[in-house]
Amino acid sequence: MVLLLAASLLSLPGCATRTVTESVVAYYDLDIKLRGQKEWLGGYEPLGYSQPVEITSERLASILGGIEVDVRKKKTSSVRERRNALSAKMLLNITEVLPKAFAEASGNQQVIVMAQRKQMQKGVFNRKFLTSFTTYVKGDDLYVIFSRIEWPIDENKKTTVIPQPWPGEVVMPFETVGTDIYELVGTQGVRVKWKNTNFGPPVSPSQPKPSALKTQDSLVTPAVEGIPAAAAIPTPPSTQPQRGAPLSEGPKASMATKPAAGGIAGAAAGGAAAEANSSQTKSTSDPLKGISSDDLRDLANLEDAYSAGRMDEAQYQRERARILNRGN
Protein backbone atom coordinates (compact mmCIF):
# COMPACT_ATOMS: atom_id res chain seq x y z
CA MET A 1 0.00 0.00 0.00
CA VAL A 2 2.83 2.40 0.90
CA LEU A 3 4.69 1.60 -2.32
CA LEU A 4 1.52 2.14 -4.34
CA LEU A 5 0.95 5.53 -2.69
CA ALA A 6 4.57 6.57 -3.33
CA ALA A 7 4.30 5.55 -6.98
CA SER A 8 1.09 7.54 -7.33
CA LEU A 9 2.67 10.66 -5.84
CA LEU A 10 5.71 10.43 -8.12
CA SER A 11 3.46 10.15 -11.15
CA LEU A 12 1.75 13.47 -10.37
CA PRO A 13 3.04 16.58 -12.22
CA GLY A 14 5.35 18.64 -10.00
CA CYS A 15 5.73 15.89 -7.42
CA ALA A 16 8.56 13.98 -9.08
CA THR A 17 11.24 16.62 -8.52
CA ARG A 18 12.50 18.80 -5.71
CA THR A 19 14.54 22.00 -5.65
CA VAL A 20 18.14 21.47 -4.58
CA THR A 21 20.67 24.26 -3.95
CA GLU A 22 24.43 24.20 -3.46
CA SER A 23 26.21 27.15 -1.86
CA VAL A 24 29.06 28.81 -3.77
CA VAL A 25 29.65 31.70 -1.36
CA ALA A 26 27.69 32.90 1.68
CA TYR A 27 28.94 36.31 2.75
CA TYR A 28 27.20 38.78 5.00
CA ASP A 29 26.13 40.90 2.01
CA LEU A 30 26.32 38.36 -0.84
CA ASP A 31 24.89 34.88 -1.28
CA ILE A 32 25.45 32.89 -4.48
CA LYS A 33 24.03 29.40 -4.99
CA LEU A 34 23.60 26.77 -7.69
CA ARG A 35 20.00 25.59 -8.07
CA GLY A 36 18.48 22.68 -9.92
CA GLN A 37 15.49 20.38 -9.94
CA LYS A 38 16.41 16.90 -8.76
CA GLU A 39 14.32 13.80 -9.21
CA TRP A 40 13.40 11.99 -6.02
CA LEU A 41 14.72 8.70 -7.36
CA GLY A 42 17.38 9.97 -9.74
CA GLY A 43 19.64 12.82 -10.78
CA TYR A 44 19.06 16.40 -11.85
CA GLU A 45 16.36 17.27 -14.34
CA PRO A 46 18.18 18.17 -17.61
CA LEU A 47 18.14 21.87 -18.50
CA GLY A 48 20.62 21.85 -21.39
CA TYR A 49 22.81 24.73 -20.21
CA SER A 50 26.36 25.17 -21.56
CA GLN A 51 28.03 24.85 -18.20
CA PRO A 52 30.53 24.70 -16.57
CA VAL A 53 32.02 27.64 -18.42
CA GLU A 54 34.98 29.95 -17.86
CA ILE A 55 34.12 33.67 -17.94
CA THR A 56 36.48 36.23 -16.45
CA SER A 57 35.50 38.77 -13.81
CA GLU A 58 36.39 41.60 -16.20
CA ARG A 59 34.03 40.34 -18.89
CA LEU A 60 31.21 39.73 -16.42
CA ALA A 61 31.67 43.25 -15.03
CA SER A 62 31.31 44.67 -18.54
CA ILE A 63 28.20 42.60 -19.25
CA LEU A 64 26.36 43.12 -15.96
CA GLY A 65 27.44 46.76 -15.72
CA GLY A 66 25.70 47.49 -19.02
CA ILE A 67 22.26 46.24 -17.99
CA GLU A 68 19.75 49.06 -17.44
CA VAL A 69 16.26 49.00 -15.95
CA ASP A 70 13.25 51.31 -15.97
CA VAL A 71 11.94 51.51 -12.39
CA ARG A 72 8.44 52.64 -11.41
CA LYS A 73 7.16 53.46 -7.95
CA LYS A 74 3.93 51.62 -8.73
CA LYS A 75 2.90 49.20 -11.45
CA THR A 76 0.39 51.72 -12.82
CA SER A 77 2.76 54.70 -12.65
CA SER A 78 3.64 56.38 -15.95
CA VAL A 79 6.83 57.90 -14.52
CA ARG A 80 9.91 55.75 -14.98
CA GLU A 81 13.46 56.16 -13.71
CA ARG A 82 16.18 54.61 -15.89
CA ARG A 83 19.32 53.45 -14.13
CA ASN A 84 21.89 50.69 -14.00
CA ALA A 85 20.56 47.46 -12.52
CA LEU A 86 23.63 47.12 -10.28
CA SER A 87 25.56 49.78 -8.38
CA ALA A 88 29.33 49.99 -8.87
CA LYS A 89 30.14 48.52 -5.44
CA MET A 90 27.65 45.69 -5.80
CA LEU A 91 28.92 44.97 -9.31
CA LEU A 92 32.48 44.49 -8.09
CA ASN A 93 31.40 42.28 -5.18
CA ILE A 94 29.35 40.02 -7.44
CA THR A 95 31.79 39.70 -10.33
CA GLU A 96 34.62 38.90 -7.93
CA VAL A 97 33.12 35.47 -7.23
CA LEU A 98 30.61 34.87 -10.07
CA PRO A 99 33.28 33.19 -12.28
CA LYS A 100 33.63 30.54 -9.56
CA ALA A 101 29.90 29.84 -9.73
CA PHE A 102 29.92 29.41 -13.51
CA ALA A 103 32.97 27.14 -13.25
CA GLU A 104 31.19 24.89 -10.73
CA ALA A 105 27.69 24.88 -12.27
CA SER A 106 26.56 21.87 -14.27
CA GLY A 107 24.37 21.98 -17.35
CA ASN A 108 21.39 21.31 -15.10
CA GLN A 109 21.87 24.16 -12.61
CA GLN A 110 21.03 27.85 -12.57
CA VAL A 111 23.20 30.37 -10.75
CA ILE A 112 21.22 32.53 -8.33
CA VAL A 113 22.64 35.74 -6.87
CA MET A 114 21.32 37.59 -3.82
CA ALA A 115 23.20 40.80 -2.93
CA GLN A 116 22.40 43.25 -0.14
CA ARG A 117 23.00 46.98 0.24
CA LYS A 118 22.86 48.83 3.54
CA GLN A 119 21.57 52.37 3.93
CA MET A 120 22.48 54.60 6.84
CA GLN A 121 19.75 56.19 8.90
CA LYS A 122 20.29 58.14 12.12
CA GLY A 123 23.99 57.34 12.15
CA VAL A 124 23.74 53.55 11.84
CA PHE A 125 23.01 51.03 9.10
CA ASN A 126 19.51 49.91 9.93
CA ARG A 127 17.96 49.41 6.50
CA LYS A 128 18.89 46.77 3.96
CA PHE A 129 17.91 46.34 0.33
CA LEU A 130 18.04 43.18 -1.78
CA THR A 131 18.97 42.86 -5.44
CA SER A 132 18.65 39.34 -6.83
CA PHE A 133 18.76 37.61 -10.20
CA THR A 134 19.07 34.23 -11.90
CA THR A 135 21.75 33.65 -14.53
CA TYR A 136 22.95 30.81 -16.75
CA VAL A 137 24.72 30.17 -20.07
CA LYS A 138 23.00 28.45 -22.98
CA GLY A 139 24.98 28.18 -26.19
CA ASP A 140 26.71 31.52 -26.75
CA ASP A 141 24.07 33.41 -24.76
CA LEU A 142 24.35 34.56 -21.17
CA TYR A 143 20.92 34.97 -19.57
CA VAL A 144 20.35 37.38 -16.68
CA ILE A 145 16.81 37.50 -15.25
CA PHE A 146 16.18 39.88 -12.36
CA SER A 147 13.68 39.29 -9.59
CA ARG A 148 14.26 42.16 -7.15
CA ILE A 149 16.13 45.47 -7.40
CA GLU A 150 16.60 47.52 -4.22
CA TRP A 151 13.86 45.55 -2.49
CA PRO A 152 13.53 46.58 1.21
CA ILE A 153 14.23 43.73 3.63
CA ASP A 154 11.96 43.58 6.66
CA GLU A 155 14.18 42.81 9.66
CA ASN A 156 11.48 43.40 12.25
CA LYS A 157 10.62 39.71 12.13
CA LYS A 158 12.34 37.27 14.47
CA THR A 159 13.74 35.30 11.53
CA THR A 160 14.58 37.08 8.30
CA VAL A 161 14.37 34.81 5.26
CA ILE A 162 15.96 36.16 2.08
CA PRO A 163 13.72 35.09 -0.84
CA GLN A 164 15.34 33.36 -3.80
CA PRO A 165 14.90 34.81 -7.30
CA TRP A 166 12.67 32.86 -9.68
CA PRO A 167 12.49 33.62 -13.44
CA GLY A 168 9.02 34.72 -14.46
CA GLU A 169 7.97 35.73 -10.94
CA VAL A 170 7.21 39.47 -11.06
CA VAL A 171 7.66 40.98 -7.60
CA MET A 172 8.52 44.62 -8.35
CA PRO A 173 7.42 47.14 -11.02
CA PHE A 174 10.51 47.45 -13.22
CA GLU A 175 11.50 46.42 -16.74
CA THR A 176 14.88 45.69 -18.27
CA VAL A 177 15.95 47.86 -21.21
CA GLY A 178 16.63 46.20 -24.56
CA THR A 179 19.36 47.40 -26.95
CA ASP A 180 21.19 46.10 -30.01
CA ILE A 181 23.46 44.17 -27.65
CA TYR A 182 21.04 43.26 -24.86
CA GLU A 183 18.05 41.25 -26.11
CA LEU A 184 15.00 41.26 -23.85
CA VAL A 185 13.90 38.04 -22.15
CA GLY A 186 10.41 38.62 -20.83
CA THR A 187 10.00 41.95 -19.03
CA GLN A 188 12.74 41.62 -16.42
CA GLY A 189 15.54 39.77 -18.15
CA VAL A 190 18.10 40.04 -20.94
CA ARG A 191 20.36 37.74 -22.88
CA VAL A 192 23.63 38.68 -24.50
CA LYS A 193 26.34 37.09 -26.63
CA TRP A 194 28.88 36.89 -23.83
CA LYS A 195 31.83 36.30 -26.19
CA ASN A 196 31.09 39.58 -27.99
CA THR A 197 34.27 41.66 -28.34
CA ASN A 198 32.35 44.64 -26.94
CA PHE A 199 32.90 43.05 -23.54
CA GLY A 200 36.58 42.21 -23.86
CA PRO A 201 39.21 40.42 -25.96
CA PRO A 202 38.12 37.62 -28.31
CA VAL A 203 37.37 34.31 -26.59
CA SER A 204 38.46 31.02 -28.15
CA PRO A 205 38.46 27.43 -26.84
CA SER A 206 42.25 27.38 -26.95
CA GLN A 207 42.57 30.58 -24.93
CA PRO A 208 44.86 29.91 -21.95
CA LYS A 209 43.60 30.57 -18.47
CA PRO A 210 44.56 34.05 -17.25
CA SER A 211 47.66 34.14 -15.08
CA ALA A 212 47.19 34.69 -11.37
CA LEU A 213 49.85 37.41 -11.55
CA LYS A 214 48.37 40.36 -13.42
CA THR A 215 49.43 43.96 -13.46
CA GLN A 216 47.01 46.60 -12.31
CA ASP A 217 46.81 48.05 -15.83
CA SER A 218 45.72 44.68 -17.28
CA LEU A 219 42.87 44.47 -14.80
CA VAL A 220 41.15 47.64 -15.97
CA THR A 221 38.20 47.06 -18.26
CA PRO A 222 38.28 49.65 -21.08
CA ALA A 223 35.24 51.80 -21.68
CA VAL A 224 33.19 50.56 -24.63
CA GLU A 225 31.06 52.77 -26.83
CA GLY A 226 27.39 52.04 -26.29
CA ILE A 227 27.93 50.48 -22.85
CA PRO A 228 27.10 52.59 -19.75
CA ALA A 229 30.00 53.90 -17.69
CA ALA A 230 29.36 51.40 -14.90
CA ALA A 231 30.52 48.65 -17.24
CA ALA A 232 34.06 50.04 -17.33
CA ILE A 233 34.82 49.58 -13.64
CA PRO A 234 38.36 48.51 -12.76
CA THR A 235 38.73 45.18 -11.03
CA PRO A 236 40.54 45.36 -7.68
CA PRO A 237 44.31 44.67 -7.93
CA SER A 238 45.42 41.07 -7.48
CA THR A 239 47.13 42.05 -4.22
CA GLN A 240 43.75 42.64 -2.57
CA PRO A 241 43.01 39.87 0.00
CA GLN A 242 40.42 37.33 -1.04
CA ARG A 243 37.01 37.39 0.63
CA GLY A 244 37.22 35.40 3.80
CA ALA A 245 41.05 35.37 3.86
CA PRO A 246 42.58 35.37 7.36
CA LEU A 247 43.65 38.78 8.57
CA SER A 248 47.13 37.47 9.41
CA GLU A 249 47.99 36.99 5.74
CA GLY A 250 48.52 40.72 5.21
CA PRO A 251 51.35 41.26 7.76
CA LYS A 252 53.06 38.02 6.70
CA ALA A 253 53.22 39.18 3.11
CA SER A 254 54.51 42.62 4.06
CA MET A 255 57.27 41.16 6.28
CA ALA A 256 58.73 39.01 3.50
CA THR A 257 62.04 40.58 2.42
CA LYS A 258 64.44 39.59 -0.31
CA PRO A 259 67.86 38.48 1.10
CA ALA A 260 70.63 41.02 0.52
CA ALA A 261 73.68 39.94 -1.49
CA GLY A 262 77.27 40.33 -0.26
CA GLY A 263 78.14 37.39 2.00
CA ILE A 264 78.04 37.70 5.79
CA ALA A 265 77.92 41.50 5.79
CA GLY A 266 75.02 41.48 3.35
CA ALA A 267 73.18 38.88 5.40
CA ALA A 268 73.68 40.95 8.57
CA ALA A 269 72.39 44.05 6.82
CA GLY A 270 69.41 42.08 5.53
CA GLY A 271 68.72 40.78 9.04
CA ALA A 272 68.81 44.29 10.49
CA ALA A 273 66.46 45.52 7.80
CA ALA A 274 64.09 42.63 8.44
CA GLU A 275 64.13 43.39 12.18
CA ALA A 276 63.38 47.05 11.50
CA ASN A 277 60.54 46.09 9.18
CA SER A 278 59.21 43.70 11.83
CA SER A 279 59.23 46.44 14.47
CA GLN A 280 57.45 48.81 12.12
CA THR A 281 54.86 46.14 11.32
CA LYS A 282 54.21 45.52 15.00
CA SER A 283 53.74 49.22 15.63
CA THR A 284 51.10 49.42 12.91
CA SER A 285 49.40 46.09 13.50
CA ASP A 286 46.32 47.58 15.11
CA PRO A 287 43.51 46.23 12.87
CA LEU A 288 41.29 49.25 13.56
CA LYS A 289 43.96 51.86 12.80
CA GLY A 290 43.03 53.84 9.71
CA ILE A 291 39.70 52.07 9.24
CA SER A 292 36.93 54.14 7.66
CA SER A 293 33.68 55.12 9.32
CA ASP A 294 31.78 52.94 6.84
CA ASP A 295 33.84 49.92 7.85
CA LEU A 296 33.24 50.67 11.54
CA ARG A 297 29.51 50.71 10.92
CA ASP A 298 29.80 47.42 9.02
CA LEU A 299 31.65 45.90 11.97
CA ALA A 300 28.95 47.11 14.36
CA ASN A 301 26.28 45.69 12.09
CA LEU A 302 28.17 42.42 11.95
CA GLU A 303 28.39 42.23 15.74
CA ASP A 304 24.63 42.77 15.98
CA ALA A 305 23.94 39.99 13.48
CA TYR A 306 26.26 37.60 15.30
CA SER A 307 24.76 38.45 18.70
CA ALA A 308 21.27 37.88 17.29
CA GLY A 309 22.30 34.41 16.11
CA ARG A 310 21.89 35.12 12.37
CA MET A 311 25.34 33.68 11.56
CA ASP A 312 27.72 31.12 13.02
CA GLU A 313 31.24 31.66 14.42
CA ALA A 314 33.03 30.72 11.18
CA GLN A 315 30.97 33.10 9.05
CA TYR A 316 31.40 35.87 11.63
CA GLN A 317 35.20 35.53 11.63
CA ARG A 318 35.31 35.39 7.83
CA GLU A 319 33.19 38.52 7.41
CA ARG A 320 35.14 40.40 10.10
CA ALA A 321 38.42 39.62 8.36
CA ARG A 322 36.98 40.71 5.02
CA ILE A 323 35.82 44.07 6.37
CA LEU A 324 39.17 44.75 8.07
CA ASN A 325 41.05 43.86 4.89
CA ARG A 326 39.09 46.21 2.59
CA GLY A 327 41.56 49.07 2.73
CA ASN A 328 44.72 46.93 2.51
pLDDT score of 101 more than 90: yes
pLDDT score of 124 more than 90: no
pLDDT score of 71 more than 60: yes
pLDDT score of 16 more than 70: yes
The reported pLDDT for the residue numbered 240 is 43
- pLDDT tens column, 158-173: 667 899 999 999 999 9
- pLDDT above 90 covers what percent of the chain? 45
The reported pLDDT for the residue numbered 123 is 66
Average pLDDT over residues 9-30: 79
Reduce the secondary structure of the chain to three states and give it as a string: CHHHHHHHHHHCCCCCEEEEEEEEEECCCEEEEEEEEEECCCCECCCCCCCCCCCCHHHHHHHHHCCEEEECCCCCCCCCEEEECCCHHHHHHHHHHHHHHHHHCCCCCEEEEEEEEEEEECCEEEEEEEEEEEEEEECCEEEEEEEEEEEECCCCCCCCCCCCCCCCCCCCCEEECCCCCCEEECCCEEEEECCCHHHCCCCCCCCCCCCCCCCCHHHCCCCCCCCCHHHHCCCCCCCCCCCCCCCCHHHHHHHCCCCCCCHHHHHHHHHHHHHHHHHHHHHCCCCCCCCCHHHHHHHHHHHHHHHCCCCCHHHHHHHHHHHHCCCC
CA distance 5 to 8: 5
The reported pLDDT for the residue numbered 166 is 97
The reported pLDDT for the residue numbered 174 is 96
| Integer CA distances (angstroms), 168 to 8, 75, 77, 213, in order | 29, 16, 21, 41
pLDDT confidence of 237, banded at 50, 70, 90? very low
When mean pLDDT is compared across 72-81, 111-120, 183-192, 193-202, the lowest value belongs to 72-81
pLDDT score of 286 more than 60: no
The reported pLDDT for the residue numbered 104 is 98
The reported pLDDT for the residue numbered 120 is 77
CA distance 266 to 277: 16
pLDDT score of 147 more than 50: yes
Average pLDDT over residues 289-300: 71
pLDDT greater at residue 187 or residue 124: 187
pTM over 0.75: no
pLDDT confidence of 141, banded at 50, 70, 90? very high
pLDDT confidence of 327, banded at 50, 70, 90? low
pLDDT greater at residue 182 or residue 216: 182
Domain definitions of the chain by residue range:
15-232, 249-324
Average pLDDT over residues 209-222: 41
The reported pLDDT for the residue numbered 160 is 77
- pLDDT above 70 covers what percent of the chain? 64
The reported pLDDT for the residue numbered 8 is 52
pLDDT score of 66 more than 90: yes
pLDDT score of 271 more than 90: no
Strand pairing category for 189-193 and 183-185 = antiparallel
